[in-house]
Chains A and B, each alone.
Chain A
């Protein structure tokens, strides 16, 4: 059956009924496009953030009362550092700064530039930065979203932070963080740690939380228990928990769409099945003629399988390619809001292309198997009847 006349007949059949096929292809492309776009966004964000999470410290220690974060005293740093097996204990200063009580907000992060690791990382992050100039005076690095906000609110060079004590702190805009990092840096304001303390109203010996690493993975649980027993108002969050939270979030959101898709796919297959089972007399007659001409049931089914596979393949490739372009070339306008919120402003952070072949295979199988079944079962029913009956 794989010879040229067969292909010729297949092509004639496909293009002869192009109106019917185009309608089905159009609907299928839309379905596959929507599902693939959603899953592409989810897998891209999940992969990017879980890789970024690898760079985060292993543990974060917070001080909590009534589920509210309280400043952590610096003395805790020494207590944690005294535990054997713990490395790189660093106090972290960060917090939200609201431009007005119910207004927009920035994430102010204080960096200790006396630390060895901060200098090279900052130099790599912002190309051509003159660290001496940056550290000389009150200056800040801002994310893309913050820069845009400041431009539109007439703060082209400096911004005055209102401290909890009621004083204004004028800080100069030094540079904007690169757009590649905007997925995590869009709302960031990076300042030296002492300045961050003043903006956020923390004391000299206080920080927002403390981070540390445990190089030996087998010691994680043991050290977590030891630190949790140090103080009654202490909360310790491990990287494993954050990783689990991300996985749950994106699986939840992607899964939500998958359920919706399954419902729509079921409805689509039902319509197809109903249409195919009430096969038009013309098509019924066509199958009858083929049978009368000596085609076996197998030949008729092969023709229909090839015909359906052509439609399925065309729909899948078109739908998946359109979804790829929409997500990774256009940045998934509208749909990205479901994952990243609408606070992103006009431009989207670039999504790192991730092609998860297991997702593509699942979509293809889900779609192709149900489509083939919905078309082939009614055709097989006609093909097994007597050709005379079919042609009536």
Chain B
């Protein structure tokens, strides 16, 4: 039983090591640099929410998300905050 206990402990430590290794070896600066360059070029730092992103502030209409409860806002709606960042 003690062996199984130690093996389980070792497995958990291995998981921690795997997470830390991935964290340390990932090219975080490279990922950030790509974003930084785009922002330096365009001057716009707000996140791009996809080409199909719904923008009530700009489009002034809203499609019902739930037919049984049309007043319910879709859960992924971002306009309430993102929409105010320079109107992007």
Q: Interface of A with B (CB < 8 Å)?
A: 4, 7-8, 10-12, 14-15, 45, 48-49, 51-57, 60, 62, 69, 90, 92, 94, 96, 98, 102, 104-107, 109, 111, 117-118, 121-122, 124-125, 143, 145-146, 149, 177-178, 180-188, 190, 209, 211, 237, 242, 245, 248-249, 252, 313-314, 317-318, 320-321, 324-325, 328-329, 337-338, 340-345, 350, 352-353, 355
Q: Could you tell me the distance in whole angstroms from the C-beta of B85 to the nearest C-beta in chain A?
A: 6
| Contact in complex: B53, A187 (CB < 8 Å) | yes
Cβ-Cβ contact count across A and B, 8 Å cutoff: 202
Residues in chain B near residue A111, CB distance under 8 A? 41-42
Question: Which residue of B23, B39, B75, B86 is within 8 Å of A52 (Cβ)?
Answer: B39
* Beta-carbon contact of A11 and B30 below 8 Å: no
Q: CA–CA, A318 to B59, complex, Å?
A: 44
Q: Does B66 contact A (CB under 8 A)?
A: no
Q: Nearest Cβ in chain B — how far from A37, in angstroms?
A: 13
The reply to whether A177 and B38 contact each other, CB–CB distance below 8 Å, is: yes
15 additional contacts (CB under 8 A) given A11-B1, A54-B36, A321-B15: A8-B1, A52-B32, A52-B36, A55-B40, A94-B88, A145-B50, A146-B51, A177-B38, A181-B35, A184-B45, A187-B53, A248-B81, A249-B81, A342-B52, A344-B49
Q: Which of B61, B75, B86 has the most CB of A within 10 A?
A: B86
Q: Which residue of A lies closest to B86 (CB)?
A: A60
- Complex Cα spacing A7 to B4, Å: 12
- Also in contact, A14 and B40, with CB within 8 A (given A96-B55, A245-B81, A249-B81): no
Q: Which residues of B contact A211 (CB under 8 A)?
A: 43
Task: Select B51's contact among A45, A145, A181, A245, beta carbons within 8 Å.
Answer: A145
Residues A102 and B35 in contact, CB atoms below 8 Å apart: no
Between A and B, 14 residue pairs with Cβ closer than 8 Å are A52-B32, A55-B36, A56-B43, A109-B42, A117-B40, A180-B31, A187-B49, A188-B48, A317-B15, A338-B76, A341-B50, A342-B74, A353-B23, A353-B26
B12→A340 contact, CB < 8 A: no
Asked if B5 CB lies within 8 Å of chain A CBs, one says yes
A325 partner residues in chain B, CB cutoff 8 A: 19
Whose C-beta in chain A lies nearest to the C-beta of B88? A107
Question: Which residues of the other chain, A, contact B35 by a CB distance below 8 angstroms?
Answer: 48, 51-52, 180-181, 183-185
The distance in angstroms between the C-alpha atoms of A256 and B28, with both chains bound, is: 28
On whether the beta carbons of A55 and B39 are closer than 8 Å, the reply is yes
A309 CB, min distance to chain B CBs, angstroms: 12
Q: Are the C-beta atoms of B40 and A186 separated by less than 8 Å? A: no
Q: Is the CB of A125 within 8 A of B5?
A: no
Residues of A within 8 A of B39 (CB): 52-53, 55-56, 184
B82 proximity list for chain A (CB < 8 A): 249
Instruction: Please provide the chain B residues from 47 to 81 with a CB less than 8 Å away from any CB of chain A in the complex.
Output: 47-55, 58-59, 61, 74-78, 81
B88 proximity list for chain A (CB < 8 A): 94, 107
- Give complex CA distance A317, B47 in Å: 31
List chain A residues, Cβ under 8 A from B55: 96, 105
Smallest Cβ distance from A30 to chain B, in angstroms?
17
Contact B12 A314 (CB under 8 A): yes
Alpha-carbon separation in the docked complex, A10 to B8 (Å): 14
Contact A125 B41, CB 8 Å, known A11-B4, A51-B36: yes
